[in-house]
Structure 1
Amino acid sequence: MDISDIPVEFVDQIGSIKKISFPQQGHTSLVIKIETRDHQFIIKKTEHDLFNEWLSEEHQALQYLSTTGLPVPKVYAFHIQDKSRWLLMDYIDGISLRHFLGSKPNHKDREKVISHYGLCLKQIHETQRPVGLSKNDQSWIDTMFMKASHNLANYNVDGTEELLVRLKNDRPKPIENTLIHGDFHTNNVLVNNNKVIGIIDWPRAAFGDPRFDIALAIRPKQDVFDQKGDKELFFESYSRLIISDEEYRYFQDGLYKFF
């Protein structure tokens, strides 16, 4: 990709481009870093129906979240071109929390960042629902079931029809909804100088069940929530509620498999 491939309206806003690079890529979009003389941008491009839908939803969510004080990237423009979608936003100069933990930081720094990770999720869940991110006529979980059924019928997902039926029959007891990220895990949290400085990838932002965020936040990976005391430190900082093993399995090993 070169400058000529970037939508003209983006180039007009960006100005004179000095450098184009490709940072660590996700699974759903092409991520392009743009550098000018005095600013850095990120462009995300998708070319798949489901991922196009997610990018459109992320654009809308970031607009709503811009007034909340949460550390989200500023969004500048959204472009539709044939079967592709493009989103232009600020670059946040940090590394993913997963990358940070995988770099084997010293014990003190590791504890500090995990604690800040818990505080970050607490901040999201205590943020007033932004104007525009309104309640649906149906409950959040019923909306998720509807989307799960659609994804199961139309896309390659890890969930099955049998799992979806079981989730509908065994839904957890409702709790008070909050603003949620919807995909809150260590790849979507950016760190610099041992502090969380950014939260990215917001297509599933909603007024929903905070246990969904918590379950994704604490799922163990290599070097991530695989040491004694990690979860306890997270919950000590989060301090709103602690989910049970059953709730963890329901959201992380169940509902999330359709997204």
Structure 2
Amino acid sequence: MRQLQPIIVEEIPHSIKKYVKQIEKMTFPKQGCTSDVGILHTAKGRYVLKRAKGEKYRKWLFKEYYVLKNIKTLEKFRSTNAYEFVQTPEQSWLLLEFFEGKTVREYLEKEDNEKKREHIVYEMGRLLVRIHDAECPEQLVSKQPWIHRMLQEAEYNLTHYKVDGNQQLLKQLQMQKMICKQEVLIHGDYTIDNVLVHDGQIAAVIDWSGGALGDARYDIALAVRFEDGIFTGKERAAFFKGYGKGLSQSEFCYFAEGLYEFF
């Protein structure tokens, strides 16, 4: 992960400072690849502040705000509260609820107990069922099938941004004509970096910029990617047990090793 510039208090927009009142200090978690992230420590408690620069990442940050605003009333699972969204000519800012915890990746890297590891991955699968079972807000429903939109976006991203995919892979995905029989509410980036663990239990899912009515298999595939060899076969099986069904190898390859390479 690249090191992003930490945020300094003087840069924070006035409306965000007004909302949180007095900022006592800021700390910086491990940074992702799309936003600068700071934890604001205030008299009212802690908040997460995200800042994005550049067209692509600013669009994603606004999408996260939009998705969170529209899923906040869903009762099947708990989502993050989005408090303030501010755009300036050069950057975008999003103030979010803070959740205590570490990512599933961090948890698995440090936890040696096999049963505890499998429990967390199993619960990650159970949480995904609740997300997929929730009624998708109509604001997140598109007239065009999700897979068509994603392939169009993949083509746009390949042309305009640096991505891991290439023209040959995109052509392959387009020719496969993947069809989704039933679209559901998806997270859109359900990876071990976006699910938090606290006190040995799943606490929250963060980074909702990919939220939409879409193909459940995309979330499932991203959840069990073998990136960095962090999952054992048993843990992968525990996730599928928690979710209630598995994924074929060709589906996994299409979504996790194909489509995701452009996002």
Secondary structure of the structure 1 residue equivalent to 2:128: helix
- Using the alignment, how far apart are the partners of 1:58 and 1:26 within structure 2? 15
Partner of 1:230: 235
2:81 to 74, 99, 107: 74
Kindly report structure 1 stretches of 4+ aligned residues shifted beyond 6 Å. Answer: none
TM superposition shift of 1:91: 0.9
- Using the alignment, how far apart are the partners of 2:258 and 2:130 within structure 1? 26
Query: For the Cα contact (< 8 Å) 1:184–1:217, is it kept in 2?
Result: yes
- Using the alignment, how far apart are the partners of 1:131 and 1:141 within structure 2? 18
| Aligned-partner residue type, residue 232 of structure 1 | A
Partner of 1:56: 62
Alignment map for 1:128-167 (pairs within 5 Å): 128-134=135-141, 136-167=142-173
Identity of aligned residues (%): 33
Secondary structure of the structure 1 residue equivalent to 2:85: strand
- Using the alignment, how far apart are the partners of 1:3 and 1:147 within structure 2? 35
- Using the alignment, how far apart are the partners of 1:223 and 1:190 within structure 2? 19
Deviation per residue, 1:58-106 (Å, 9 max, x gap)? 0100101111132321111101111201000111111000000000241
Answer with 249-258 or 102-111: which moved more: 102-111
Partner of 2:260: 256
| Aligned-partner residue type, residue 161 of structure 1 | Q
Deviation per residue, 1:115-147 (Å, 9 max, x gap)? 11110111111111124222x121100010111
Query: For the Cα contact (< 8 Å) 2:23–2:41, is it kept in 1?
Result: yes
| Aligned-partner residue type, residue 137 of structure 2 | P
Partner of 1:114: 121
- Using the alignment, how far apart are the partners of 2:227 and 2:161 within structure 1? 26
- Using the alignment, how far apart are the partners of 1:126 and 1:247 within structure 2? 21
Deviation per residue, 1:19-60 (Å, 9 max, x gap)? 111111101110011011231101100111100110010010
* Cα distance change of structure 1 residues 4 and 204 upon mapping to structure 2, 3 Å threshold: same
| Aligned-partner residue type, residue 243 of structure 1 | L
1:200 matches 2:206: yes
Normalising by structure 1, report the TM-score: 0.95
Query: For the Cα contact (< 8 Å) 1:124–1:179, is it kept in 2?
Result: yes
Which runs of no fewer than 5 residues in structure 2 stay unpaired? Answer: 1-6
- Using the alignment, how far apart are the partners of 1:162 and 1:109 within structure 2? 41
Query: For the Cα contact (< 8 Å) 2:103–2:192, is it kept in 1?
Result: yes
- Using the alignment, how far apart are the partners of 2:65 and 2:187 within structure 1? 14
Partner of 2:106: 99
Query: For the Cα contact (< 8 Å) 1:79–1:86, is it kept in 2?
Result: yes
Answer with 83-92 or 68-77: which moved more: 68-77
Query: For the Cα contact (< 8 Å) 2:118–2:234, is it kept in 1?
Result: no
Which runs of no fewer than 5 residues in structure 1 stay unpaired? Answer: none
Normalising by structure 2, report the TM-score: 0.94
RMSD: 1.2
- Using the alignment, how far apart are the partners of 1:230 and 1:3 within structure 2? 42
TM superposition shift of 1:223: 5.7
Partner of 1:181: 187
Query: For the Cα contact (< 8 Å) 2:119–2:238, is it kept in 1?
Result: no
Answer with 188-197 or 157-166: which moved more: 157-166
